[in-house]
Structure 1
Amino acid sequence: MSTVEVTAAPAVKPEEAPKAAGGTSGVKSFLSGGFGGMCLVAAGHPLDLLKVRMQTSSEYKSTFDCFRKTLAENGVRGMYRGMAAPLVGATPVFAICFWGYDMGQKIMRSVYNLSPTDKLSTNQILFAGGFSAIPTTAVMAPMERIKCTLQVTSANGSGTVYKGPADAAMGIVRAGGITSLFKGTCATLLRDVPGSVAYFGAYEFIKKALTSNSAGEGSISPLAIVTAGGLAGMANWGIAIPPDVLKSRLQTAPEGKYSGVRQVFVEMMRTEGPGALFRGVGPALLRAFPANAACFLGVEVSLQLMNKAW
């Protein structure tokens, strides 16, 4: 990915920034992605919690109703229920995601015999974005399983209440074996491949548009990063929310209730209709902008610092 200088100066001069994502090392992509993921979780977890609760229950009338009831039931700390799992997992998940994106770009450069300084076409960027979801899913699926399980457990004593991610993981394994941690892997791929295409494609497109319109070709301001990152997150969730609903339902269901994501879809269409696929879209989009703005800013800043250090 392109890197930037984020300081009091309005933009990075072209000669100060690395020429292209193809010139970024895999180690730097991995580390910067992990830091960006931690920024994303810290900024967006409360709204993610509301999204999952709305997706897995019909008791909430709106995003505000879900927020009000969750706050009344669990207090402010309850808004961060389940955050430890994604926060701990954010480093490997987003590290692998951005590393996968970098590897996808390198594959395109190799296939089309491009140098590290050659710009990739839109289709090549989209391929790299989709490719990033494949290695990410191996780590993402069990983390999502634990997170969703924690987010839907009640703190008022009804149902199983877990003490934290480790306790939830043990409970999941006791109930369904080690393979149960990977429940929803196919659904995660169905969500993340098209979502990542939109995510990275929108980020690069919007960043390029803002760069050329405001700061001059080859320069980019922190505001442009935040705007492009936030809008990229919204583009991602605009596409990914239906499979994310299916994933959340599958991952939080009792063991043995569903044979797979297809059965979840069939039952949902029969009992709730197509509108259920977009349940939780409000908090998902509300969360998407600040969380992903923080993510991309964290990625770009940490990458620039590493490029200065070595």
Structure 2
Amino acid sequence: MQTMVVEPGKKPPFTGTFDCLKQTFVKEGPRGLYRGVTAPITAIAPIYAVVFWGYDMGQRVVRWQYDMDVTEKFTLGQVCFAGGFSAIPTTAIMAPSERIKCLLQVQANDIAAGGKAKYTGMLDCGVKLFREGGVRSVFKGTTATLIRDVPGSIAWFGAYEVVKEKIGKLQGKQPSELSPLAVLFAGGCAGIANWVIAVPPDVVKSRYQTAPEGTYKGLGDVAKTLLKEEGPGAFFKGLGPAMIRAFPANAACFLGMEFSKSLLAFMD
């Protein structure tokens, strides 16, 4: 939905989230709904390992800057700084993964139009990108990914900590004592907060990463073209699917993180 081009005076390829799901399923079957999934599955473990490591590093920077004791509580601003900091190292893994995933997903449109598949899979896509333009081609869209993920991560970690604190006060518990259900809810809210912020730059990133070389002069040109040809609403394409995914995916992510921390503390 983010990469579809709506020509003036013509009907858009998809009228909405469920129309996109329906058409994809009819044309490609169940596998079509998971096109491009190999790239994020391969990268997901290292990405989130680096995300939470980066968050911890951000917290250490805050403690060093303000000469804080490990027992002192962070302010919301300090949590947001650490969250934004976490996106910087994560981008090194996220950018090429997103580039490959988007290309594999968009390739389906060419196949549906009678064209041939350029890439047979994740590895083939990565190799061909490297052959065509070197490392620079593989990492195309890195700046766009950073522009998306820094504010998104600020909202992600900030919302998680705020919701946990609010639930803790309501239940008379410390945030570390919350039940798995409370953690799931806080994580889901964090996911929604993240994507409300991240969808507009994500649209620009997706368009830039999937466009043929020379189509755009840069990210500013992508945004200008989108606004001129498709209007402000173009920046929010894909918001529906992002919201549907955001709550359960991020609820599970934070629950897994908290469980892993508890397990490591127990083993220690």
TM above 0.5, one fold?
A: yes
CA distance in 1: counterparts of 2:18 and 2:169, whole angstroms = 39
Deviation at 1:274, TM superposition (A): 1.1
Structure 2 equivalent of residue 18 of structure 1: none
Which secondary structure state, in structure 1, belongs to the residue aligned with residue 15 of structure 2?
coil
Q: State the Cα distance separating 1:289 from its structure 2 match.
A: 0.5
CA RMSD of aligned residues (A): 1.3
* 1:306 partner amino acid: L
* CA-CA distance at 1:211 after TM superposition: 1.8
Q: Does 1:277 align with 2:231?
A: no
Post-superposition shift, 1:305?
Answer: 1.0
Identity of aligned residues (%): 53
Paired residues of 1:133 and 1:192 also in contact (CA < 8 A): yes
Letter in 1 for 2:211: A
C-alpha separation between the residues in 1 aligned to 2:131 and 2:215? 16
Deviation at 1:171, TM superposition (A): 2.4
Q: Which residue of 2 aligns with 1:190?
A: 147
Distance 1:215 1:171 in 2: 56
Which residue of the partner structure matches residue 10 of structure 2? none
**Superposition pairs for residues 103-114 of structure 1, below 5 Å?**
103-114=57-68
Classify the secondary structure of the residue corresponding to 1:56: coil
| Distance change (3 Å), C-alpha of 1:175 and 1:160 | farther
Shift of residue 125, structure 1, vs aligned partner: 0.5
Aligned partners of 1:55 and 1:249 also within 8 Å:
yes
Tell me, yes or no, if structure 1 residue 180 matches structure 2 residue 134.
no
CA contact (8 A) 1:215 1:221 kept: no
Distance 2:21 2:115 in 1: 19
Per the normalisation by structure 2, the TM-score is 0.92
SS in 1 for 2:34: coil
The answer as to whether partners of 1:137 and 1:185 remain within 8 angstroms in 2 is: yes
Greater relative contact order (CA < 8 Å, ≥ 6 in sequence): 1
Q: How does 1:160-175 map to 2 (within 5 A)?
A: 160-175=117-132
Q: Within the alignment, does 1:304 sit opposite 2:262 as a pair?
A: yes
**Structure 1 residue 161 displacement after superposition:** 4.2
Correspondence list, 1:212-291, <5 A: 212-214=169-171, 216-218=173-175, 219-291=177-249
Residues 102, 128 of structure 1: 8 Å contact kept? yes
Looking at structure 2, the residues matched to 302 and 71 of structure 1 have their Cα atoms a distance apart, in angstroms, of 36
CA distance in 2, matches of 1:293, 1:269: 33
How far apart are residue 162 of structure 1 and its match?
A: 2.1
Q: Which runs of 4+ in 1 moved over 3 A?
A: none
Structure 1 unpaired stretches of 5+: 1-53
Partners of 2:87 and 2:222 in 1: CA distance: 22
**Does residue 74 of structure 2 align to residue 147 of structure 1?**
no
Q: CA deviation at 1:187?
A: 0.7
Aligned partner of 1:56 in structure 2 is 3
Aligned-residue offset at 1:215 = 5.3
How far 1:159 sits from its partner (Å)? 4.5
Where does the alignment leave 5 or more consecutive residues of structure 2 unmatched? 7-12
Counterpart of 1:243, as a letter, is P
Amino acid at match of 1:91: A
Which piece of structure 1 moves more, 283-292 or 171-180? 171-180
Q: Which moved more, 1:287-296 or 1:254-263?
A: 254-263
Instruction: Please state how far the C-alpha of 1:280 moved relative to its aligned partner.
Output: 0.7
Change in CA separation of 1:251 and 1:213 when aligned onto 2, cut-off 3 Å: same
Distance in 1, Cα, partners of 2:226 & 2:154: 26
CA pair 130-244 structure 1, distance change in 2 beyond 3 A: same
CA contact (8 A) 1:175 1:255 kept: no
Q: Within 1, Cα distance between the matches of 2:81 and 2:119?
A: 39
